[in-house]
């Protein structure tokens, strides 16, 4: 594909994987996220994701964002990033994320958000 298409199966360097459904006409998409890691002592469960991307007809290397609402803990992650295509047509999603945990009081709000990066490549 000469243009990045987000739908399909992706994995990141942590070993997490995600499936993105078909992207609808306004750029919206949904999917499922299976994280390989957690900072809780909970059992990991597949969690829903919802996001949007810039329409592909405008850009070859599109920007996107999505939110994962974790089903196994009171926390949320937002990912934002861009799809890059190499000259062989291989797509890479370079992302940054914010992970918000639920804290018990406003006084703990300062320590409630983690930040990081993830790179996703397609699982053939
Ligand atoms: O652990 C969690 C939920 C799972 C987060 C997985 C993150 S999302 C960014 C990164 N990319 C991945 O593929 N996986 C990781 N929530 C959580 C974490 C810490 C605390 N805490 O209380 O410290 C509470 C909930």
Predicted model pTM: 0.95
Structure tokens at 104: 């018990």
pLDDT digits (tens, 9 = 90+) for 22-78: 889 899 999 999 999 999 999 999 999 999 998 666 556 799 999 999 999 999 999
The per-residue pLDDT for 14 is 98
User: Which ligand 1 atom is at minimum distance from the Cα of 15?
Assistant: 13
The per-residue pLDDT for 22 is 84
Structure tokens at 56: 């592909």
Structure tokens at 90: 């291989």
The per-residue pLDDT for 54 is 82
Residue 28, CA distances (Å) to 43, 52, 57 in order = 29, 4, 14
pLDDT digits (tens, 9 = 90+) for 7-20: 999 999 999 999 99
In sequence order, the 6+-apart residues with CB closer than 8 A to the CB of 51 are: 20, 28, 29, 30, 31, 64, 65, 66, 67, 79
- Name the band, by pLDDT with cuts 50, 70 and 90, for residue 3: confident
Residue of 20, 31, 38 to test ligand 1 pocket, by largest number of atoms within 8 Å of CB? 38
Pocket of ligand 1 (CB under 6 A): 12, 14, 16, 35, 37-40, 70, 73, 75, 77, 97, 99, 101, 116, 118
Q: Could you give the CA distance from residue 3 to residue 53 in angstroms, rounded to a whole number?
A: 13
The per-residue pLDDT for 124 is 77
Inter-residue contact 60 to 39 (CB < 8 Å): no
pLDDT digits (tens, 9 = 90+) for 82-117: 999 999 999 999 999 999 999 999 999 999 999 999
Which residue has its alpha carbon closest to ligand 1 atom 5? 38
Q: Could you give the CA distance from residue 11 to residue 120 in angstroms, rounded to a whole number?
A: 5
Nearest to 64 by CA among 17, 15, 30: 30
């Amino acid at each position: 594909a000469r243009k990045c298409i987000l739908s399909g199966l992706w994995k990141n360097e942590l070993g997490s994987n995600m499936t993105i459904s078909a992207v609808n006409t306004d750029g919206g998409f949904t999917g499922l996220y299976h994280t390989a890691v957690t900072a809780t002592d909970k059992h990991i469960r597949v969690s829903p994701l919802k996001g949007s991307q810039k329409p592909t007809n405008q850009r070859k290397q599109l920007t996107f964002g999505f939110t994962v609402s974790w089903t196994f803990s009171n926390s949320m992650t937002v990912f934002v990033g861009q799809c890059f295509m190499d000259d062989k047509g291989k797509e890479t999603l370079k992302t940054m994320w914010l992970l918000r945990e639920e804290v018990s009081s406003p006084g703990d709000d300062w320590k409630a958000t983690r930040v990081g990066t993830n790179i996703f490549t397609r699982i053939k």
